[in-house]
Structures are given as C-alpha cells and as structure tokens.
Amino acid sequence: MLVLGIAMLVALLLPLVTGGSYQRLLDTRVSWTWMLAAGLGVQLLLEFVSPPRQYWHNVGFGLLVASYALILAFVGRNLLLRGMSIVLIGIACNALVITVNQGMPVKLPPAWRNQSFAQATVKHHPRQPGEQLLFLSDIIVLRHPYDTVMSFGDLILAVGLCDVAFHASRRPRRKHRARRPVASQPVDPYALGVRSGRRPTGVEA
C-alpha cells in the first residue's frame, strides 16, 4: 500500500511539474469507478481489519481475489485511456502471483522478521518453500526510511499511473485530415471564349 500511495502522489504532482492541466485531468471521463472503490476498499479492510486466522485461506482469500477481479474490471473498462494498459499489466502480475500462492510471498530480510510490519496478513506472508512465480512476488527490498518490500508488478503499476496522469492532463492532439484533391472538370471552350471576349476556334457567330 505504501508503494501505491507514493505512486499516486507522484502521479498527482506530475501535471504541476510538467505544465499539464489539473482541469483536464479532472475532466477525464472514467467509467465504473465504483468497482475501483469497492476493490480498494476490500483490500484496505483485509490489510487493517484482518479476519481470524482460520478464515484467511477461505473467506479472506476469496475476498482478496474478488477485490482484484473488481479492480481489473475497472482497468479493462478504461483501457482507452493512454497508459491504462501499463496499469493493467502491473495489477495482473500481482493478481497472478497472489492467486497461485494464496497470498503475496514476501522476501523478508532476517532483521525484519520480528517486526510488527512484517507479520503475515491475508494478502502478504513470508516466502515459503515450493511457492511459484517468485520472480513476480515482493522481492525488491526498500530499506530505511521506507522499510517495505515491493514487486515488479508494483513498479509497473506505478509507471502506469504516472503515464495515465501525464497524458490525461494534456490537450488531446487533433488529427489532421488529408485534403481530398479537387476533381478536374471538363473545360467548356465556348465559356472560355465568352469570358475572354474572343470566339473559340471552330465556333461560328
């Protein structure tokens, strides 16, 4: 969640530092926002109000997968926004490794294993032998002052959010239409003669 928060903050600051327009950013049409709100709400709930441990691998895991389904549906509905395809790839990478391992495996440094922020939750747990797709799991360690671990999916998601904010704050480019050539019309020699005051050759009075 820390990485997502930082990425959203950077994305919101991009129009300011790149000369974009916050008005155009706010006027961007986004569909199915309720799905995004519901998906993020479920994940926040699981992160901070965890159900009893005996329900982690059934009710908790089911809610976690459902939250990713809602978020992916929102992103898919808005793929026409430039940069949203990058967001889709990042979220899909995280959703995939979480689904196959019933949670996100986390590579914890030995010094962190007894810290409160490193304890297992419905969404995250210390890496276990036999788990799959570990290259997509939380393996990028950010030490002090962040003290967190992130995945490549998180990085891709952060880049995608910045890309969406950057392009949405810009004026859309106008497509230049190619001019159609004017079709040539047959020339009336008599009309030319009248305009010039002369009789065309071969035309009698």
* Interior angle at CA 127, CA 129 and CA 150, nearest 5: 145
The answer to whether residue 113 sits within a structural domain is yes
The answer to whether residue 185 sits within a structural domain is no
- Which token pair is 87? 């967001």
The answer to whether residue 157 sits within a structural domain is yes
Higher pLDDT, 136 or 179: 136
Residue 180 has a pLDDT of 60
Q: Considering the entire predicted model, what is its pTM?
A: 0.79
Q: pLDDT tens, 126-171?
A: 999 999 999 999 999 988 877 889 999 999 999 999 999 999 998 7
- How far, in Å, CA of 137 to CA of 152, rounded? 8
Q: pLDDT tens, 40-60?
A: 999 989 988 888 999 999 999
Q: How far is CA 160 from CA 11, 32, 121, in A?
A: 9, 19, 27
Q: Look at the block and give the residue holding tokens 């995004």.
A: 36
Q: Look at the block and give the residue holding tokens 């950013």.
A: 25
The answer to whether residue 188 sits within a structural domain is no
Total domains, the chain: 1
The answer to whether residue 186 sits within a structural domain is no
Give the rounded percent of residues in the chain with a pLDDT score beyond 70.
Answer: 82
The answer to whether residue 146 sits within a structural domain is yes
Residue 65 has a pLDDT of 96
The answer to whether residue 79 sits within a structural domain is yes
The answer to whether residue 88 sits within a structural domain is yes
Residue numbers of the domain that contains 120: 2-173
Burial (0-12, 13-18, 19+ Cβ within 10 Å), 177: exposed
Q: How confident is the model at residue 205 (pLDDT cuts 50, 70, 90)?
A: very low
Cis peptide before 105 (omega within 30 of 0): no
Q: pLDDT tens, 99-112?
A: 999 999 999 888 88
